[in-house]
């Protein structure tokens, strides 16, 4: 009797962070591929300054007000 092979689809995971500069109001995105699928911390460091790629303003990151986390 032939053994049935269960079909499979492959998938990958990519996280996309969306940023908005509070000074020039432009936005940009950053894609990240996690190194593990469980127990992954989605937060970005608050103490490390990031630069707006549009106006160059350096600022720390905070989660956007109203985002449901």
Residues within the interface to Zn ion (CB under 5 A): 21, 23-24, 52, 54-55, 57
**Residue 34 to residue 13: CA distance in whole angstroms:** 7
Phi-psi category of residue 66: left, alpha or beta, with phi > 0 → left and psi -120 to 50 → alpha: left
Shortest separation between residue 41's beta carbon and Zn ion, angstroms = 26
Shortest separation between residue 53's beta carbon and Zn ion, angstroms = 8
Q: Between 40 and 51, whose beta carbon lies closer to Zn ion? A: 51
How far from the centroid of its chain's Cα atoms is residue 22's Cα?
19
Q: Between 13 and 57, whose beta carbon lies closer to Zn ion? A: 57
Shortest separation between residue 27's beta carbon and Zn ion, angstroms = 9
Q: Which of 26, 18, 16 is nearest to 57 (CA)?
A: 26
């Amino acid at each position: 009797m032939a053994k049935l092979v269960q079909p499979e689809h492959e998938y990958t995971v990519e996280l996309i962070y969306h940023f908005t500069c509070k000074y020039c109001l432009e936005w940009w995105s950053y894609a990240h591929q996690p190194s593990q699928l469980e127990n992954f911390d989605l937060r970005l460091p608050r103490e490390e300054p990031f630069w707006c790629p549009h106006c160059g303003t350096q600022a720390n990151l905070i989660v956007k007000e109203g985002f449901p986390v």
